Structure 1
């Protein structure tokens, strides 16, 4: 079963969604589904007192994602 959700966004956010969809060869809905999945991972990490970050190829922390 699929549930439809009405979502109002700013023109800037809509443009970003469109850019991400084109770059990822997917739909804006798929971008939002992936964003929610990523948020879920980040939220679970926070609950487990872990941290979320971006590592380089040598596993050095480049960016820590905070504030989620």
Structure 2
């Protein structure tokens, strides 16, 4: 989902609130991967599962980390 579609950008709380509403899942069931620490922290504060994307990380490993 592009931030412009919501009218807010990360790490604004409104971005996470509106994205959660659009997805239609509880915040605790949403996984979020980003390379910016402020965005990750904001997602966690909103109740999302969040992790930082780092060089060498494989997407399948990042996704698997959310299921543990």
TM-score, length basis structure 1: 0.31
TM-score, length basis structure 2: 0.31
Larger Rg: 1
Greater helix proportion:
2
